[in-house]
Chains A and B, each alone.
Chain A
C-alpha cells in the first residue's frame, strides 16, 4: 500500500541552525514524485520542493534541500539557517501515476511535523 510516514510530530530548532524533517514512503511504483509543503497557522499549503523518483541529484530550492535516499525510501527535508517565519506544519507528500489520460498526480500526505523555531 502507498503510504507516507512522518515520525516526528513536533520539533524545536534554534534560529539560524539547520533542521532535518524526516519522511519515509512506501510504494511499489517505479515512477513517483515526492513533495514537501509548508502549512502556516493561517492554513494555506505552500509548495516548497519536489524530487522525482528518477532524479539522481537531490533537489534544492534556496534554504530547502531534499535528502533523497531511494534505497531506504526516505525523502527528508533539510532547512538551513532556520528563521522564525519557518515555524509551521510541514507535510511530506507522494504523487502517484495512474493510467487516466496521463499522470493523475494524486497526492498522498503524511501526518505532518510541527516545527517551532526559537529565537
Chain B
C-alpha cells in the first residue's frame, strides 16, 4: 500500500546527542515536510523540500537539519543545538497543485 512511513515510533535522546528521524514515502510525491507538535498545540513547520537536493527552512528550523538525496526520503536530524527537542514530529508529503498534505504516523522524541 502507498503511504508515508516514519520510524521509529518512539525515540529517546541523551543530552548532547544528535538523532535522526526517518521519513519515507512511496506515493511519488514531489514535496515533503517536517512539522513539530507540542502538547496542546498545532503543528509548526521545521523544514520543507519541493524537489530532490533542495530544501527550505520553515518557521522553527534552528537546531534541526535535513537532506533530500532521494525523492522518497526526507530524514530529519535533531542536533544537540536544539535545546528543547521533546515533541511529536510529523512528516508529510504532497503531490502538487492544491492536493492536500498526507501525513505519517509520527515519531515521539523524548530526552533522557
Contact = CB atoms under 8 A, between A and B. Distances in A.
A101 B31 CA distance: 11
Nearest to A44: B105
A107 B50 CA distance: 14
A42 B105 CA distance: 8
A12 B22 CA distance: 37
Contact of B97 (A42, A45, A103): A103
B103 A111 contact: no
A106 interface: yes
A107 B101 contact: yes
A91 B40 CA distance: 11
Count class of interface residues, chain A = 20 to 34
B106 A101 contact: no
Interface of B: 31, 33, 40-45, 48, 50-51, 56, 58, 88, 90, 92, 94, 96-98, 100-106, 108
21 contacts: A35-B100, A35-B101, A37-B103, A43-B105, A43-B106, A43-B108, A45-B43, A47-B102, A50-B98, A95-B98, A100-B50, A104-B56, A105-B94, A105-B101, A106-B45, A106-B48, A107-B33, A107-B45, A107-B101, A111-B40, A111-B42
